[in-house]
Amino acid sequence: MSTGTNDLRVPIAIIGGSGLYELDGLKVIEERTIETPFGMPSAPILIGELDGRRVAFLPRHGKNHEYNPSTVPYRANIWALKSLGVFWVVTVSAVGSLKEAIVPGHVVIPDNIIDKTYRRANTLFDELAVHVNLTYPFDPMLREVLIECVKAEGVPCHTEGTYVCMEGPAFSTRAESELHRSWGASLIGMTAMPEARLAREAELCYATIALSTDYDCWKDDDEVDVTNVMAIIKQNVANVRRILQRVIPAIPLEREEECEAGRALQFGIMTPAEAIPEDARKKLGIFLDKYLDQ
Ligand SMILES: CSC[C@H]1O[C@H](OP(=O)(O)O)[C@H](O)[C@@H]1O
Ligand SMILES: Nc1ncnc2[nH]cnc12
């Protein structure tokens, strides 16, 4: 198991979604296999340099898309990124559009999530009681950076939107799709949760570039399937790659202290240090030590 220490800190991570299994322009330094207390991450993590910045890249579904949205090892992924010293996490996701104006090929930088998942481990902290604030699961400062970069690339960009995270792996029924629309949500996907919640528990600064790939199944003339989704991703992946190449140098590394997510656990740990089992302290030390070693 990796020790959680990091000789060469990697401040930025990109988590690639469906259709994004590598990061263009990354000068790969190392492919690191990290064993975590939550098992193995989705894939070995590529560590490299882009624009003089250290960046980690992790394909969420594995190198060969072997994990479905329910079986992605979200907790191992977050633990592994934290162990590298990552703070800024930019993710890429394919999503269905629940609004006419969000045309397939457009990008959305979502600002909230409705979590409908029900069979995924949804906390890093099973052995104690921790309650973090999740009012805004996507970091506002990082969202602004993403919005600027998408616009600068000339890609149509929707600057807000609620992402409904369903369990899947089947797509929605028509009735479910209409229900999600009636909630006023903009996007439907299968992976933002528990990823965003775990990122907050790990005090990471997290935001998502969502690529609209389809109108889900609410429009009379459209029905979603993987072939359609992948065709749109293929047509737009070059945009996403260019956006990411802009994002990495634009991340304000020097403003880390301003990001509230970095203090998410400050008032969230209910269980007193002396009541936390020793093995949990070891397993979760990379998240908890700064609060418990006082
Ligand atoms: C390939 S269609 C469904 C699949 O795509 C999205 O994944 P990701 O968010 O990793 O891009 C969606 O959530 C489903 O997992
Ligand atoms: N319509 C849809 N529903 C859920 N996940 C998706 N990912 C891409 N399109 C989707």
Task: pLDDT band for 4, please (50, 70, 90 cuts).
Answer: very low
Q: What ipTM score was computed for the predicted complex, to two decimals?
A: 0.99
- Identify the helix (H) or strand (E) that includes residue 211: strand 205-214
Q: 169 CA distance to ligand 1 centroid (A)? A: 9
CATH of the domain at 177: 3.40.50.1580
CA of 170 to the centre of ligand 2 (A): 9
Q: How far is the CA of 278 from the centre of ligand 1 (A)?
A: 38
Residue appearing with tokens 């990122």: 199
- Three-class secondary structure of residue 95 per DSSP: strand
Q: What number is the average pLDDT over the span 263-290? A: 97
Structural domain contains residue 63: yes
Q: Is the peptide bond before 194 cis (omega within 30 degrees of 0)?
A: yes
Residue in the block written with tokens 């991703």? 233
Is residue 289 part of an annotated ligand binding site?
no
> What is the Cβ-side half-sphere exposure of residue 81, based on CA atoms within 13 angstroms?
33
DSSP reduced 3-state for 51: coil
Query: Would the pLDDT of 6 be above 60?
Result: no
Protein residue closest via CA to atom 7 of ligand 2: 95
In a domain, 2, yes or no: no
Ligand at minimal distance from the CA of 188 is 2
Is pLDDT larger for residue 288 or for residue 222? 288
Domain assignment present for 3: no
pLDDT above 50: residue 176: yes
Judged on CB neighbours under 10 Å (0-12, 13-18, 19+), 188 is buried
Per-residue pLDDT, 223: 82
**Per the annotation, does 131 bind a ligand?**
no
pLDDT at 265 over 60: yes
225 is catalytic: no
- Residue 56, domain extent: 12-292
Using most ligand atoms within 8 A of CB, pick from 93, 224, 226 the residue to mutate for ligand 1: 93
Any atom of ligand 1 within 6 Å of the Cβ of 45 = no
Q: What is the pLDDT of residues 211-253, one digit of tens each?
A: 999 999 999 777 899 999 999 999 999 999 999 999 999 999 9
Number of domains in the chain: 1
Residue 199 vs residues 78, 139, 242: alpha-carbon distances, Å: 6, 11, 25
Smallest Cα–Cα separation from 12: which of 85, 111, 93, 77?
A: 85
1 within domain boundaries: no
Single-letter amino acid code for the residue at 282: K
Half-sphere exposure of residue 59: CA atoms within 13 angstroms, side-chain side: 17
Q: What pLDDT, on the 0 to 100 scale, is given for residue 8?
A: 83
Give pLDDT tens digits for 182-210.
999 999 999 999 999 999 999 999 999 99
Give Cα 166 distance to the centre of its chain. 15
Give the number of the atom of ligand 2 that is nearest the alpha carbon of residue 224: 1
135 is annotated as contributing to ligand binding = no
Q: What's residue 268's pLDDT? A: 97
